[in-house]
Amino acid sequence: MHIVVHYSEIGTKGKNREFFERILMRNIRSLCGRNLSSVQRRYGRIICTLREGASPEETLRTLSRIPGVSSVMPSLKSPLDPERIAETSLKAVSSRSFETFAVKTARSSKEFPKTSQEMNILIGSRIAGILGKKVNLKNPDLTVYVEIGEREAFIGTEKEKGPGGLPVGSSGTVVSSLSGGIDSPVASWMMMKRGCEVVFAHIHNPSASGNPEKIRKIAKQLSLYQGRSLLYIVPFGNLQREIIAKVPSKLRMIIYRRFMMRILNLIAERENAKAIVTGDSVGQVASQTLENIACIREASKLPVLSPLIGMNKEEITSLAKDIGTYELSVIPYPDCCSFLVAKHPETKASIEIARKAEAGIEEPERLVRECAEQADIITFT
């Protein structure tokens, strides 16, 4: 059995297209390798051949999650002969239950002796004549997809949609602040779709938050999309206590997040990452007013990316359910951030006020460095 993998955005990359195709093929091999005997580029698509005994369902499920993949289609292969293609098409539909059908042929090779429309007619007449089914081009029960390439043709009847975008690893590495909430896992996934390899970092106070098993489960779920992943569990207790002792309560959330940025920057330096990722959405909580966002990001040397910045909670929640992180995110987990929220937190902090509030913290660089150096690193493969 073969699976035809289609991409969309990669096809617009011109002379760089091969670079993106090869990274996508690498990711396919990494995530599906034990189920595939070969992964090959063919005229604007990637052809995966299953090993004997491999699970088609498992392989399709995995392929349909991979960033860069726009669709996957289980297929039968046929030689480049019109009659053989018609015979294979008949075989592809023979076990399906349907009354009406349509045929859609696409030719990558214009040297093939028949046009797409001529092949539609040939295959359609064969299915109608032998199986007694009716053609319905507007609303068919079943669509037969015929893809004619330079070496062979592939025929399938089902296409499963993928996430699209770019393959992970084509745009570099980022460090994502992974909290226990709904937003940050979705932000991480969206950066994977833009070709970024995502390193996860969770700021953790054991005495306040307990066992971060929930965070491990979220990172493991996200690793299904990009393959090998790293999760940094960063101890924050000492720094948190210093902030509580030295910073006015209404500013603690802002100062915490500024120190979080510094910790994430150190992790990014270690991982050769080029940006920080957060789950911020403008106006959603007190720390996400425009003024506070600007104040917090000023503490980062690297660019801070927030792919959810203009989305509302319903949109984010819908995506979380789609990617399988929602049920994990709603498990109760008091992250250390919640312990710093004042009854009336500052909503319009300035950089000058934040710097003044930080001035009383002793040896801030040492505290930040210790947090990063003492982090536990978990690998997901």
Give me the CATH number covering residue 305.
3.40.50.620
Strands 173-177 and 160-161 come out as unpaired
Nearest to 202 by CA among 185, 230, 179, 228: 179
For 371, list phi and psi in degrees, rounded to 5.
-60, -50
Q: What is the pLDDT of residues 273-314, one digit of tens each?
A: 999 999 999 887 877 889 889 999 999 999 999 999 999 999
Q: For residue 168, is it within any domain? A: no
- Assess whether 9 and 104 both reside in one domain: yes
pLDDT over 80 (residue 211): no
- Assess whether 58 and 118 both reside in one domain: yes
Q: For residue 294, is it within any domain? A: yes
Domain of residue 319: give its range.
173-380
pLDDT attached to residue 206 = 75
- Choose the final residue of a domain: 107, 136, 161: 161
Q: How far apart are CA 249 and CA 347, in angstroms?
A: 13
pLDDT attached to residue 284 = 78
- Assess whether 21 and 145 both reside in one domain: yes
Domain count of the fold of the chain: 2
pLDDT attached to residue 343 = 66
Instruction: Provide the percentage of residues in the chain whose pLDDT is more than 70.
Output: 96
Q: For residue 226, is it within any domain? A: yes
Name which residue leads in pLDDT, 126 or 349: 126
Mean pLDDT of 107-123: 92
Q: Tokens in use for 374?
A: 């003492």
pLDDT over 60 (residue 99): yes
pLDDT attached to residue 77 = 96
- Choose the final residue of a domain: 95, 128, 161: 161
Instruction: Provide the percentage of residues in the chain whose pLDDT is more than 90.
Output: 77
Q: What is the pLDDT of residues 179-209, one digit of tens each?
A: 889 999 999 999 999 999 999 999 988 766 5
Name which residue leads in pLDDT, 325 or 348: 325
pLDDT over 60 (residue 226): yes
Helix axes 351-358, 290-297, angle to 10 degrees: 50
The sign of the torsion formed by the CA atoms of 11, 12, 14, 19 equals negative
- Assess whether 23 and 68 both reside in one domain: yes
- Assess whether 231 and 362 both reside in one domain: yes
pLDDT attached to residue 205 = 80
- Choose the final residue of a domain: 127, 161, 195: 161
Averaged pLDDT score across all residues of the chain: 92
- Assess whether 145 and 105 both reside in one domain: yes
Q: For residue 370, is it within any domain? A: yes
- Assess whether 144 and 179 both reside in one domain: no
pLDDT attached to residue 180 = 85
Per-residue three-class SS string for the chain? CEEEEECCHHHHCHHHHHHHHHHHHHHHHHHHHHHEEEEEEECCEEEEEECCCCCHHHHHHHHCCCCCCCEEEEEEEECCCHHHHHHHHHHHHCCCCCCEEEEEEEECCCCCCCCHHHHHHHHHHHHHHHHCCEECCCCCCEEEEEEECCCCEEEECCCEECCCCECCCCCCEEEEECCCCCHHHHHHHHHHHECCEEEEEEEECHHHHCCCHHHHHHHHHHHHHHCCEEEEEEECHHHHHHHHHHCCHHHHHHHHHHHHHHHHHHHHHHHCCCEEECCCCCCCCHHHCHHHHHHHHCCCCCCEECCCCCCCHHHHHHHHHHHCCHHHHCCCCCCHHHHHCCCCCCCCCCHHHHHHHHCCCCCHHHHHHHHHHCCEEEEEC
Q: For residue 284, is it within any domain? A: yes
- Assess whether 20 and 130 both reside in one domain: yes
Q: Tokens in use for 272?
A: 């050769």
- Assess whether 225 and 339 both reside in one domain: yes
Where residue 224 falls among pLDDT bands split at 50, 70, 90? very high
pLDDT over 60 (residue 354): yes
- Assess whether 198 and 127 both reside in one domain: no
- Assess whether 218 and 293 both reside in one domain: yes
pLDDT attached to residue 338 = 55
Q: Tokens in use for 202?
A: 């969770």
Name which residue leads in pLDDT, 341 or 319: 319
Q: How far apart are CA 319 and CA 198, in angstroms?
A: 18
Name which residue leads in pLDDT, 111 or 266: 266
Q: What is the pLDDT of residues 124-183, one digit of tens each?
A: 999 999 999 999 999 999 999 999 998 899 999 999 999 999 999 999 999 999 988 999
Q: What is the pLDDT of residues 55-85, one digit of tens each?
A: 999 999 999 999 999 999 999 999 999 999 9
pLDDT attached to residue 287 = 78
Q: For residue 260, is it within any domain? A: yes
Q: For residue 287, is it within any domain? A: yes
- Assess whether 27 and 114 both reside in one domain: yes
Q: For residue 166, is it within any domain? A: no
pLDDT attached to residue 331 = 87
